[in-house]
Amino acid sequence: MTESKWVWFRFDGTTPSEKTKYFAVMMKGGPHGYDESLGVIKWHGPWRKYVFDPHVMTIYEQDCLRDIAAFLDELMQGRKKIGAGFDQEPLLMYSGTGTTWKRPPPLLETEK
């Protein structure tokens, strides 16, 4: 995936059961001058896929939607490649600058 002009994806943790990951979809430089959340990417069990759940009162154009769809495709390809252990792998976060995944910084003692 090439770098998106409009959005980036922030790893926000796992579900309470720690079975699946979820991500915030962030708008780059929103109208107030800072990045704003557009919605959440999360696992949808009935469809057995990651889905985009947009916040109310958000709008999208085709390039933004393509970038979100490409990220969903990458998540599903990773899940299929690794199999059932995908969500038990060490947590990774998407940098939003292409297909670069990296490990998040270690937690501080106060965050554990």
Q: What is the domain partition of the chain in residue ranges?
A: 7-99
Distance between CA atoms of residues 40 and 10, nearest Å: 9
What's the pLDDT at 95?
A: 45
| Contact of 29 with 35, CB cutoff 8 Å | yes
What's the pLDDT at 99?
42
| 105/91 Cα distance (integer angstroms) | 10
In the chain, pLDDT over 70 holds for what percent of residues? 71
Q: How far apart are CA 110 and CA 51, in angstroms?
A: 33
Tokens representing residue 40 in the block: 């959440």
Is residue 1 over pLDDT 60? no
Instruction: Name residue, tokens 């796992």.
Output: 14
Residue recorded with tokens 């965050």: 111
Q: With the C-alpha atoms ordered 33, 70, 80, 53, is the resulting torsion angle positive or negative?
A: positive
DSSP label at residue 26: E
Does the pTM surpass 0.95? The reply is no
- Residue predicted with more confidence, 26 or 79: 26
